[in-house]
Chains A and B, each alone.
Chain A
Amino acid sequence: MSTTTLPPTEKAAPVSAPAGTTSDRARSERTLGWLLAGPALLVMLLVTAYPILQAVYDSLFDYRLTDPENRSFTGLSNYWVILTDSTWWIAIGVTVFITAVTVAVELVLGFALAFVMAKALSAIRPVLRAAILIPYAVITVVSAFAWKFAFAIDTGFINKWFGWLPGISGDTDWFGGQWSALFVVCVAEIWKTTPFISLLLLAGLAQVPEVLQEAAKVDGATWWQRLRKVTLPNMKAAIMVALLFRTLDAFRVFDSVFVMTAGANHTETVSFLAYRQTISRLEIGLGSAVSVLLFLAVVLIAAVFIKGFKVDLAQARGER
Chain B
Amino acid sequence: MLDGVHRLPEGPLPDPARRLRSRWPRSRRGLAVGAAAAVLTSVLAACGGGGGGGVPTLTWYTNPDSGGQAEIASRCTDAAQGRYRIETAVLPRDASSQREQLIRRLAANDSSIDIMSLDPPFIPEFAQAGFLAPVPEDVAGRVTEDVVESAIEGSTWNGELVAVPFWANTQLLWYRKSVVEAAGLDMTQPVTWDQLITAAKDQDVLLGVQGARAESLTVWFNALIESAGGSIIADNSTDPDNIQLGLTSDAGLRAVQVMRDISRSGQAGASLSTATEDTTATGFEGPDAGFQVNYPFVWGRALAAVEAGTMEQSVPDDFGWALYPQVDEGTDSAPPYGGINLGISAFSQHVDFAYAASECITSTENQAYYFTTNGNPASDTTVYDDPDVLKVFPMAPTILQSLDQAAPRPQTPYYSEVSGGLQREYHPTSSVNPKTTPQKATDFITAVLRKEQLL
Contacts and interface: CB of A to CB of B under 8 A. Distances in A.
A265 B273 CA distance: 9
Interface stretch (A19-27, A96-104, A116-124, A171-179): A171-179
Contact of A286 (B96, B273, B282, B454): B454
Interface residues of B, number: 35
Contact of B451 (A40, A62, A280, A290): A62
Given A81-B453, A81-B454, A280-B420, 18 more contacts: A39-B36, A40-B35, A66-B125, A68-B107, A85-B453, A87-B453, A152-B274, A173-B274, A262-B213, A262-B214, A264-B273, A265-B213, A276-B454, A279-B100, A280-B96, A281-B455, A282-B104, A282-B416
A264 B212 contact: yes
Question: Which 5 pairs across A and B sit closest by C-beta, in order of nearness?
Answer: A171-B270, A264-B213, A66-B129, A153-B271, A176-B273
Given A46-B36, A65-B104, A286-B454, A153 B270 contact: yes
In the complex, which of the residues A42, A176, A277, A286 has the most CB atoms of chain B within 10 Å of its own CB atom?
Answer: A176
Contact of A67 (B96, B129, B454): B129
Interface string A114-157: 00000000000000000000000000000000000000111000
Contact of A39 (B34, B131, B282, B452): B34
A99 B347 CA distance: 44
Nearest to A38: B34
B103 interface: yes
Nearest to A274: B454
A176 B274 contact: yes
Interface band, chain A: 35 or more
Q: Give the interface SS of chain B, mostly helix, strand, loop or mixed.
A: helix
A43 interface: yes
A67 B454 CA distance: 19
A82 interface: yes
Interface in B253-273: 270-273
13 contacts: A39-B35, A42-B36, A62-B451, A66-B131, A68-B107, A82-B454, A175-B273, A264-B273, A265-B213, A276-B454, A280-B96, A280-B455, A283-B451
Interface string B424-453: 000110000000000000000000000111
A21 to B, nearest CB: 34
Contacts, number: 94
Contacts of B100: 279-280
B79 interface: no
B417 interface: yes
Interface of A: 39-40, 42-43, 46, 62, 65-68, 81-82, 85, 87-88, 152-154, 170-173, 175-176, 261-265, 273, 276-277, 279-283, 286, 290
A95 B212 CA distance: 22
Contacts of A281: 416-417, 420, 455
Nearest to B96: A280
Nearest to A290: B454
B271 A277 contact: no
A62 B107 CA distance: 16
B139 interface: no
In the complex, which of the residues A46, A173, A264 has the most CB atoms of chain B within 10 Å of its own CB atom?
Answer: A264
A180 to B, nearest CB: 11
